[in-house]
Amino acid sequence: MRLENTPKARRIEAKRGYDDACGLAHALELVGERWALLVMRELMLGPRRFSGLKADLPGISANVLAQRLVELEERGLIRRTRLPPPASVQVYEATDWGLDAAPLIRALGKWAVRSTRHDPGQQVSPVSIMMSMQTMFDALAAGDFGPRAGFLFGDVGYVAEPREGEIHVERSGLEGCDFVVATTPEELGAVLYGDAPLETLAISGDTELARRFVTLFTLPPKVEPAG
Dihedral of CA atoms 35, 37, 42, 43 in degrees, nearest 10, equals 130
| Enclosing domain of residue 24 | 10-105
2 occurs within a structural domain: no
pLDDT digits (tens, 9 = 90+) for 120-135: 889 999 999 999 999 9
136 occurs within a structural domain: yes
218 occurs within a structural domain: no
pLDDT digits (tens, 9 = 90+) for 174-192: 999 999 999 999 999 999 9
Task: Look up the CATH number of the domain holding residue 135.
Answer: 3.30.1050.10
Distance CA 72, CA 50 (A): 14
Is 153 a residue whose pLDDT tops 60? yes
Q: What is the pLDDT of the chain when averaged over all its residues? A: 92
Q: How many domains does the chain have?
A: 2
86 and 153 co-located in one domain: no
Which pLDDT score is estimated for 227? 66
Q: Give, in order, the Cα–Cα distances in Å from 142 to each of 146, 147, 217.
A: 8, 10, 10
Distance CA 50, CA 69 (A): 9
